[in-house]
Amino acid sequence: MIFFHSKTNTFYLQGKNVSYVFRKDEYGFLNHLYFGKKVACGEDLSFVYRPCDRGFSPNFDGAENRSFSLDTMPNEYPVAGLGDYRRPAVMVRTRDGARQTDFRYIDHSVETDAGAKGLPHVRGGETLFVRLRDDRYALTLELYYTVWDDSDAVVRRAALRNDGTDSVHVLNLCSFSIDLPDADYQSLRLFGRPCSERAPVWQDCAPGICELSSGQRGSSSHYLNPFLALKRKNTDETHGEVYGFQLVYSGSFSLSAEYTQYGGLRVRGGIDPLGFDWLLQSGEKFETPESVLVYSDGGLGGMSHCFHSLCRKHLMNPDFAFRKRPVLVNSWEAVYFDFDEKKLFHLIELAANAGMDMFVLDDGWFTCRNDDNGGLGDWEEDLSKLPCGLKGISDKCRSLNMLFGLWFEPEMVSENSKLFRVHPEWCLKNPERGFVRGRNQIVLDFCNPQVVDYVYGKMEDIIAKNGISYVKWDMNRYLADLYSPYLPPERQSEVQHRYVLGVYQLASRLNRRFPDLLMEGCSGGGGRFDAGMLNYFPQIWTSDNTDAFARAKIQYGTSLCYPPSAMTAHVSVCPNHQTGRTSGLDARYAVASSCIFGYELDLTKLSQSELAQIKEQITAYKRDADFVMNGDFYRLSEGDVYAFAQVSCDKSRAYVTGITGLKQANDKFRFLKIYGLDCEKKYRVRETGQTMSGRVLENIGLPLPQAEGDFCPVCYHLDGQPTSDEST
Ligand code: DGJ
């Protein structure tokens, strides 16, 4: 609900349990007043902002006295050059070379479905749209705030319109900025590298700026995820205050928390301003990606629930968000590049026999692709490997009642390809320099609409002709040569963002053309796992690391802000190809079955008893998949046991999965506290036959047996028992 109190000029954005409050002051500036636990609409909070004369904080032109300074105000969207020494949310270079803007409130309205064009965006809710203006340069700043009655998230974005006659340069335009009154927080970032994505790292906030960015990689990257949380020192998984900030963006980003001179914290984020310079001509508008701001006093778990539910209800494609996904076998770790039709047919038969729903042909199906050094861009099936073509594979799957999925790497080209020979100018490259190669491949210039059209045409044709039900969209390098031969010199600093817009454009065209096509995002594992991609891709490959123990940690970190129904996880072979570690098939299943599930191993090399075990696992997963798709997710942990509970919405049942760490001799007795249950209800633990109340399970925990070795599975079903009322 959105409410404007005209007496105090205050905006109240009311979510399910939260309020976001700011006001327009007598000068037309927007003062941030509050974001936190719900307060009544209309209660005057203007006392939060206390003007005071702080010597070195300058007073803007027209300030009534020395106590009015933008440097000490909690600003809703801070500007540069008027005396606020904290980092601004907007920086524009005008025709005279100045970088000083002065935006004052003009008007506001409330809208529905107000997402930015060409960018991923949330659906539904009510949107407050506030307009501010810099009269001197005829610039209009638009701030958007979306809230829902059923969510504790506020989604923000901004836009800048040039209503003047001269062009200006947008050097920075944040998706959001917020001035919190104190800085007594620990920051959390998700840090990683290929095969080791999204490990939580905590750090106390300290004077200065803590900045997260994906560098100039051109994607959200393995390095730091576009997510930042701030928690109080005593906040844990289930209790305490926490803020979460997430960008709905897949390109180079920046998120920062600035511990300011007078003890507040300015948090802001958006497109990385490093090297960014967007030429905004007369009449044009620049729109930022969206950002999600979450507050919870229910601990990290409360924050995660809010992100998960927003993503599933308002961001992911509604046709897929809650729909059960096919159990698949992927050819990558099964055969890599070493396959022929006969081998694939054998795999498909075994997969069908085990009860799998889909076969995915990963990398290597197209010409010049016997290793990862060539072949990208032409997207022509390799008939020497597959004499019956993709159609033959698709028909084979269909004959066994299976779906067929295919791998693409749409954004790349190899030098050894027809595409490159005909259109060398379709690549990102500085004409004055040589290529910067990654995995021996070149990045296509997605700033150029012709390139996007070409790739769309190729993919559309293959998908339509071969009855493809699923596409795995991979990206196996970052951007480096940030130069588009398509753009004029004065627009070269727009390349990174325009590239991402091209990616979004291609993805949304495919979504529209094939509404039933399931698309999975991937980037050398989970190198582009972000809320922007999730708008087009209902699932993302979480990591190339399929080792059960390592993967449990990656899923743990990822779940802080992304739902398990968006994470894909596969059972692979042991010794594991990434870590060399061995764990049982049951432990690998326990970890993978908490997400969107599949296999990635050579079924032709398994024993009959392993195949039989896999068949049982698939039956079990299909029975339990509803927990993943519709349940509420809780992180549980006890020492180095990584476990998750997925609780049905009515709390009548729960599925607990996970893995133990290294076996300790004479270990202590462990109890796994299960959150999210109905305390008043009794639950029968299917695997042990014990019956315990939700309260006991939450406060004392489920007794875990002594592990019988390293990396043992944790896998329990809790079935709520009818209460005496229900049974009569
Ligand atoms: C990286 C992906 O993460 C893998 O799953 C696989 O698709 C390879 N690329 C193929 O080159």
The string of pLDDT tens digits covering residues 540-596 is 999 999 999 999 999 999 999 999 999 999 999 999 999 999 999 999 999 999 999
What is the C-alpha separation between 386 and 400, in angstroms, rounded?
18
Nearest atom in ligand 1 to the alpha carbon of residue 372 is: 11
pLDDT value of position 637: 80
- CB distance 35 to ligand 1 below 6 Å: no
- CB distance 522 to ligand 1 below 6 Å: yes
* Atom 9 (ligand 1) nearest CA: 524
Nearest atom in ligand 1 to the alpha carbon of residue 525 is: 3
Ligand 1: which of 328, 332, 519, 545 to mutate, most ligand atoms within 8 Å of CB? 332
Which two tokens mark 38?
């719900």
Please report, as a single letter, which amino acid is at residue 609: S
Nearest atom in ligand 1 to the alpha carbon of residue 600 is: 5
- CB distance 407 to ligand 1 below 6 Å: yes
- CB distance 332 to ligand 1 below 6 Å: yes
Beta carbons of 521 and 473 less than 8 angstroms apart: yes
% the chain with pLDDT above 90:
97
> Which one is predicted more confidently, 113 or 676?
676
Nearest atom in ligand 1 to the alpha carbon of residue 407 is: 7
Nearest residue to 75 via CA among 43, 98, 105 = 105
- CB distance 544 to ligand 1 below 6 Å: yes
- Is pLDDT of 117 > 90? no
Query: What is the 476 CA–ligand 1 centroid distance (Å)?
Result: 7
- CB distance 474 to ligand 1 below 6 Å: yes
What is the C-alpha separation between 363 and 473, in angstroms, rounded?
10
Nearest atom in ligand 1 to the alpha carbon of residue 544 is: 3
What is the C-alpha separation between 144 and 128, in angstroms, rounded?
6
- 30-54 mean pLDDT: 95
Nearest residue to 636 via CA among 683, 670, 609, 586 = 670
Query: What is the 473 CA–ligand 1 centroid distance (Å)?
Result: 9
Average pLDDT, the chain: 97
pLDDT value of position 114: 75
Query: What is the 505 CA–ligand 1 centroid distance (Å)?
Result: 23
pLDDT value of position 113: 75
Which pLDDT tens digit goes with each residue over 155-174? 999 999 999 999 999 999 99
For 431-457, give the DSSP string. TTS----BTTBEEB-TTSHHHHHHHHH
pLDDT value of position 727: 52
Ligand 1: which of 339, 372, 407, 545 to mutate, most ligand atoms within 8 Å of CB? 407
* Atom 11 (ligand 1) nearest CA: 363
Planar angle of CA 290, 296, 300, nearest 5 degrees: 95
What is the C-alpha separation between 76 and 65, in angstroms, rounded?
21
- CB distance 11 to ligand 1 below 6 Å: no
Query: What is the 522 CA–ligand 1 centroid distance (Å)?
Result: 8
pLDDT confidence bin for 726, thresholds 50/70/90: low
Query: What is the 471 CA–ligand 1 centroid distance (Å)?
Result: 13
- CB distance 362 to ligand 1 below 6 Å: yes
Ligand 1: which of 473, 475, 522, 601 to mutate, most ligand atoms within 8 Å of CB? 522
Query: What is the 525 CA–ligand 1 centroid distance (Å)?
Result: 7
CB atoms closer than 10 angstroms to residue 440: 16
Ligand 1: which of 333, 408, 476, 539 to mutate, most ligand atoms within 8 Å of CB? 476
Query: What is the 566 CA–ligand 1 centroid distance (Å)?
Result: 18
pLDDT confidence bin for 728, thresholds 50/70/90: very low
User: Measuring CA to CA, how many Å separate 206 from each of 213, 267, 616?
Assistant: 18, 13, 52
Q: Please identify every residue annotated as catalytic.
A: 474, 544
What is the C-alpha separation between 182 and 171, in angstroms, rounded?
28
pLDDT value of position 112: 86
- CB distance 524 to ligand 1 below 6 Å: yes
- Is pLDDT of 355 > 80? yes
Query: What is the 160 CA–ligand 1 centroid distance (Å)?
Result: 39
Beta carbons of 386 and 365 less than 8 angstroms apart: yes
Query: What is the 541 CA–ligand 1 centroid distance (Å)?
Result: 9
- 91-101 mean pLDDT: 97
- 26-37 mean pLDDT: 97
Nearest atom in ligand 1 to the alpha carbon of residue 541 is: 3
Instruction: Determine phi and psi for 566, rounding to 5 degrees.
Output: -110, -5
- CB distance 365 to ligand 1 below 6 Å: no
- 121-126 mean pLDDT: 96
What is the C-alpha separation between 632 and 623, in angstroms, rounded?
17
* Atom 1 (ligand 1) nearest CA: 524
What is the C-alpha separation between 526 and 129, in angstroms, rounded?
35
What is the C-alpha separation between 319 and 266, in angstroms, rounded?
38
Hey, is 260 helix, strand or coil? coil
What is the C-alpha separation between 120 and 73, in angstroms, rounded?
32
Q: Is the dihedral of CA 191, 336, 416, 505 positive or negative?
A: negative
- 443-451 mean pLDDT: 98
Which pLDDT tens digit goes with each residue over 308-348? 999 999 999 999 999 999 999 999 999 999 999 999 999 99
Q: Which residues contact 288 (CB under 8 A, 6 or more apart)?
A: 116, 157, 158, 159, 173, 174, 175, 270, 271
Q: Is the dihedral of CA 520, 584, 331, 618 positive or negative?
A: negative
Instruction: Determine phi and psi for 288, rounding to 5 degrees.
Output: -85, 160
- CB distance 363 to ligand 1 below 6 Å: yes
Which pLDDT tens digit goes with each residue over 199-214? 999 999 999 999 999 9
